[in-house]
Structure 1
Amino acid sequence: MEKKNNYIWPTLFALAVAIGIFIGGKLHFDDTPEKLFSTNSKKDKLNRLIDYIDYEYVDEIDTDSIVDVTVNNILGKLDPHSVYIPKSEMEQVSENMKGDFVGIGVSFYMYKDTITVIRTIKNGPSYMSGIKPGDRILIADKDTLFGQRMPNNEVVSKLKGKIGTKVDLKIYRKSKNKTLNITVTRDRVPIKSVESYYMLKKDMGYIKINRFAESTFGEFKDALRKLKLRGAQKLVLDLRDNPGGYLGIAEKLADEFLEDNKLILYTKNKKGRIKKAFATRKGNFEDKPVYVLINERSASASEIIAGALQDNDIGTIVGRRSFGKGLVQREMDLGDGSAVRLTVSRYYTPTGRSIQKSYKKGHKDYYQKFLERYRSGELISVDSIKVADSLKFETPKGKIVYGGGGIIPDVFVPIGSNEEEAIDSMDGTYEFFSRFIFEHLEKDRMQYLRFTKNQFLDEFRVDDILFDEFIEFVLNRKIKLDFYAQEERIKTYLKANIAEQLFSPNLAAQIKGSYDSMLEKVKELDTTFLGEPEITGIKARN
Structure 2
Amino acid sequence: MAMKNKVRMVGTVGAAFAAGLAIGPMVAAWAQDGGRAETYRLLNLFGDVFERVRAEYVEPVNDRDVIENAIQGMLAGLDPHSSYLNPRSFRDMQVQTRGEFGGLGIEVTQENGYVKVISPIDETPAARAGVRPGDIITHLNGTSTQGLSLQEAVDQMRGERGSTIRITIRREGTDRPIELSITREVIRPQVARFRLEGNDIGYVRLASFNEQTETALRRAVATLRTQSNNGLRGIVLDLRNNPGGLLDQAVQVSDDFLDQGEIVSTRSRRADDGQRWNARSGDIAQGLPMVVLINPGSASASEIVAGALQDHRRAIIMGVRSFGKGSVQTVMPIPGNGAIRLTTARYYTPSGRSIQGLGIEPDIEVLNTRETPTPGAAREREADLRRSLRNEGTGAQAPAQPPLPPLNLPANITERVVRLPAEGAPAFDPTKPETDNQLQQAVTLLRAVAALPPAQRRAAR
1:466-491 Cα shifts (integer Å, max 9, x gaps): xxxxxxxxxxxxxxxxxxx88x559x
Quote how far apart the aligned CAs of 1:415 are.
Answer: 8.0
Q: Identity rate of aligned residues, in percent? A: 29
Distance 1:74 1:387, change over 3 A: closer
- Which residue of structure 2 lines up, in the alignment, with residue 524 of structure 1? 444
- Which residue of structure 2 lines up, in the alignment, with residue 314 of structure 1? 314
Matches within 5 A, 1:81-480: 81-100=81-100, 153-156=158-161, 191-231=188-228, 232-260=232-260, 262-273=261-272, 274-357=274-357, 368-370=378-380, 391-395=400-404, 397-398=405-406
1:29 and 2:34 aligned: no
Quick one: distance in 2 between partners of 1:32 and 1:195? 51
Quote how far apart the aligned CAs of 1:513 are.
Answer: 1.1
1:328-386 Cα shifts (integer Å, max 9, x gaps): 1111113345222111111111111001018xxxxxxxx94438999xxxxxxxxxxx9
Q: 1:320 touches 1:412 (CA, 8 Å); kept in 2? A: no
In the alignment, residue 269 of structure 2 is paired with which amino acid? K
Q: Per the alignment, in what secondary structure is the counterpart of residue 70 of structure 2?
A: helix
Higher helix share: 1
Q: 2:327 touches 2:345 (CA, 8 Å); kept in 1? A: yes
Unmatched runs of 5 consecutive residues or more in structure 2: 1-12, 32-36, 104-122, 125-155, 164-185, 359-376, 385-393, 409-414
- Which residue of structure 1 lines up, in the alignment, with residue 139 of structure 2? none
Q: Per the alignment, in what secondary structure is the counterpart of residue 205 of structure 1?
A: strand
Quick one: distance in 2 between partners of 1:233 and 1:387? 43
TM-score by length of 2: 0.59
Q: Per the alignment, in what secondary structure is the counterpart of residue 344 of structure 1?
A: strand
In the alignment, residue 221 of structure 2 is paired with which amino acid? L
Distance 1:373 1:332, change over 3 A: closer
Quick one: distance in 1 between partners of 2:22 and 2:157? 45
- Which residue of structure 2 lines up, in the alignment, with residue 6 of structure 1? none
Distance 1:36 1:48, change over 3 A: farther
Distance 1:35 1:157, change over 3 A: farther
1:224-248 Cα shifts (integer Å, max 9, x gaps): 2211111234211110011111111
Quick one: distance in 2 between partners of 1:283 and 1:297? 27
In the alignment, residue 518 of structure 1 is paired with which amino acid? Q
Distance 1:206 1:398, change over 3 A: closer
Q: 2:100 touches 2:187 (CA, 8 Å); kept in 1? A: yes
In the alignment, residue 29 of structure 1 is paired with which amino acid? G
Distance 1:412 1:89, change over 3 A: farther
Distance 1:226 1:77, change over 3 A: same
Quote how far apart the aligned CAs of 1:66 are.
Answer: 3.4
Q: 1:29 touches 1:48 (CA, 8 Å); kept in 2? A: no
Quote how far apart the aligned CAs of 1:43 are.
Answer: 4.5
Quick one: distance in 2 between partners of 1:333 and 1:93? 12
Quote how far apart the aligned CAs of 1:283 are.
Answer: 3.2
Quick one: distance in 2 between partners of 1:72 and 1:236? 41
Unmatched runs of 5 consecutive residues or more in structure 1: 1-23, 104-118, 121-150, 159-188, 359-366, 375-385, 401-409, 421-484, 494-508, 535-542
Distance 1:533 1:330, change over 3 A: same
The alignment of Structure 1 onto Structure 2 pairs a total of residues equal to: 324
Quote how far apart the aligned CAs of 1:295 are.
Answer: 0.5
Distance 1:71 1:213, change over 3 A: same
TM-score by length of 1: 0.51
Distance 1:59 1:373, change over 3 A: closer
Q: 2:327 touches 2:347 (CA, 8 Å); kept in 1? A: yes
Q: Per the alignment, in what secondary structure is the counterpart of residue 306 of structure 1?
A: helix
Distance 1:523 1:373, change over 3 A: farther
Q: 1:298 touches 1:322 (CA, 8 Å); kept in 2? A: yes
Quote how far apart the aligned CAs of 1:42 are.
Answer: 4.8
Q: 1:299 touches 1:322 (CA, 8 Å); kept in 2? A: yes
Quick one: distance in 2 between partners of 1:100 and 1:414? 37
In the alignment, residue 271 of structure 2 is paired with which amino acid? G
In the alignment, residue 203 of structure 1 is paired with which amino acid? D
User: 269-278 or 329-338: which moved more?
Assistant: 329-338
Distance 1:68 1:524, change over 3 A: same
Quick one: distance in 2 between partners of 1:320 and 1:533? 25
Quick one: distance in 1 between partners of 2:432 and 2:438? 12
Q: 2:291 touches 2:446 (CA, 8 Å); kept in 1? A: no
